Chain A
Amino acid sequence: MSAKLIVQGLTHHYPDEYTGETVHALDAIDLKVEEGELVTVVGPSGCGKSTLLNILAGLLPYEAGAVSVDGVPIRGPGSDRGVVFQEHAILPWRTVTRNIGHGLEIKNVPKHVREPKVQAFVDLVGLTGFEGKYPHELSGGMKQRCAVARTLCADPAIMLMDEPFAAVDAQTRITLQEELNRIAIATKKTIMFITHSVDEAAFLGDRCFVFSARPGKIKTIVDIDIPRERRNWNDMNADSVFLAARARILKLVREEVADVVEE
């Protein structure tokens, strides 16, 4: 069986409006993500991670290469690729339920079918009791849970997450990571997860793509062979496989950051 997501020779330049020069953001990226896999992406700031994700989401046209999901080339945004943005992306004028059910509303799913589904996702992300609240009445962590549930509820083939937990406090972040792991088990979703946190990358990823500094290229792929069911923060801090993977990712990332600083 072929992979869920295939990227071949993906290259992207941004034009710089002022200088007329171009920024080489991605350089001939090749990658594959299997069905049901959760891959994490780490790399120095500005190496093109968000660029990759926006291209996969269809929000940014790409100049060269090929990108396909289930063998279908990507041409623009679609509900088969759900995105969880870093922050401030759930609609402030919609309640929790109406945000989470937005994808179904867009597909014209009738209300009586929509409601039980939405409720299931509200419960899954632990927002029970907050159904009627507006985003400004939620904490940062709750907002991100709502954003995750909204994406899940639209039932995408792939979920793309761009540093979704970066703006929440450390404690909440750990909880959210464990929750996402639980959700990954429960929904068997294919997920690409971008992060700056090496801990997060090692904890969540079946594999971790480590990017080199700009122009972004995949430098190394680190396998993290730990069954999802065993992943929780109590055990991981003493798990030799986890610790080794984390140390390796950290070393690779630091080499890149050092290179950037030396430039």
Chain B
Amino acid sequence: MSYVAKPGGASSTKRAPKPSLLSREGLHIFLARWRHSGFAYVFNILLTVVIALTIWSLISSLITNPGRYLPSPFVVALSSVDVFYKGLLPAYYGNTLTRLVLGSILGLSLGVPFGLLLGLNRTVSDMFYPIMNFFQSVSGIAIFPIIMIWWGNSEKTVFIVILYTCFFPIAFNALSGVRGVPLTYVNAALTLGASPFQVVKDVLLPGAMPNIATGTRLGIGFAWRAVIAGEMLVGREGLGWMIFTARSADLTAQIILGMVTIGVTWIILDHYLLRPFERSTIEKWGLVLR
């Protein structure tokens, strides 16, 4: 924590008169502050986005019939006004996010305890380890066909696949997290008088936390892909459905808009929620020395 510059943190202390920005020293200080400020970070991102958009526009202006093959960013932005106006995008976006959030919450609340429970006993965890490893590797998209046979083209089908997709990575990582907690930690707690429940609460759960965080990030990442695929395959209203149906009407701008929404949503979710969660546990646990 101590190495992270906090915005405004330094300003409260009194310091010597500032060297002029025009002096060499002043410029160095300015550059160093700039590099550590949030602005530099945002600026770099913006720069990358601008470069990407420029390349995209260029390609789009060079090809024939860009409206069908690759509409320019401007046209895509215009189409977003259109779908927003019709209320299509907000509604579909809401549907898709709701599926993801509900599926993830349920996946977490089932997967973490399940993984922990299996991890408690060595024999049980040895037995389940390969099975859990198996299922966490069979992707959500791969189980769609069989779930569709069982439950048809229903909301249930989509939801079960989302749940499946995040449950297994989360449970599997919780399981391997518990297995990785050193026995000495458990023994130390026992000799402090901990009950089995307290051992789980104070040692095994926090000890498995970095793995659980990793599993959560993985699981939700997979689930996000599964929701989109699921909406297409099963035909439920949502972002995936929007880009799928847009294809039959040759609404390429709408397809791209959907893709951008999917990607940007993930970046925001990952950057502001999942990664900080993962990093904070890993750092606090001292697994990575800064």
Say yes or no: B191 contacts A106, CB within 8 Å: no
A79 and B285 contacting across the interface, CB-CB below 8 Å: no
Q: In the complex, what residue of chain A is closest to B187 when comparing beta carbons?
A: A59
B interface residues, how many (CB within 8 angstroms): 23
Q: Is the CB of A59 within 8 A of B189?
A: no
A103 touches B192 (CB 8 A): yes
Does B256 belong to the interface (CB within 8 Å)? no
B158 proximity list for chain A (CB < 8 A): none
**Contact A88 B182, beta carbon cutoff 8 Å:** yes
B190 in the interface (beta carbon within 8 A):
yes
CB of B184, distance to nearest CB on chain A (Å): 5
Q: A134-B284, A154-B193 are in contact. Are A91 and B206 (CB under 8 A)?
A: yes
Q: In the complex, A205→B194 CA distance in Å?
A: 30
Closest B residue to A86 by CB, please name it: B184
With A91-B203, A106-B202, A134-B284 in contact, is A154–B192 under 8 Å at CB? Answer: yes
What residue of chain A has the Cβ atom nearest to residue B185's Cβ? A91
Q: Which residues of B contact A106 (CB under 8 A)?
A: 189, 192-195, 198, 202
**Given contacts A79-B191, A79-B193, A103-B192, is CB(A89)–CB(B185) below 8 Å?**
yes
Proximity bits, A68-106, B CB within 8 Å = 1, else 0: 000000000111011101001111110000000011011
Contacts of B194 in A (CB 8 A): 106
For the complex formed, measure the closest distance between the CB of A14 and the CB atoms of chain B, giving whole angstroms.
Answer: 16
Does A217 lie at the interface of the complex (its beta carbon under 8 Å from any beta carbon of B)? no
* Chain A residues near B190 (CB-CB < 8 A): 58-59, 77
Question: How far apart sit A121 and B78, CA to CA, in the bound complex (Å)?
Answer: 67
> How close is A8's CB to chain B, nearest CB, in angstroms?
22
Does the CB pair A93–B284 fall under 8 Å?
Answer: yes
Minimum Cβ distance to chain A for residue B205 (Å) = 10
A57-B191 CB under 8 A given contacts A106-B198, A134-B284: yes
CA distance A109 to B285 in the complex (A): 25
Query: In whole Å, how far is A232's beta carbon from the nearest beta carbon of chain B?
Result: 30
7 closest Cβ pairs, A-B complex: A136-B286, A79-B193, A77-B190, A103-B192, A83-B191, A89-B188, A89-B184
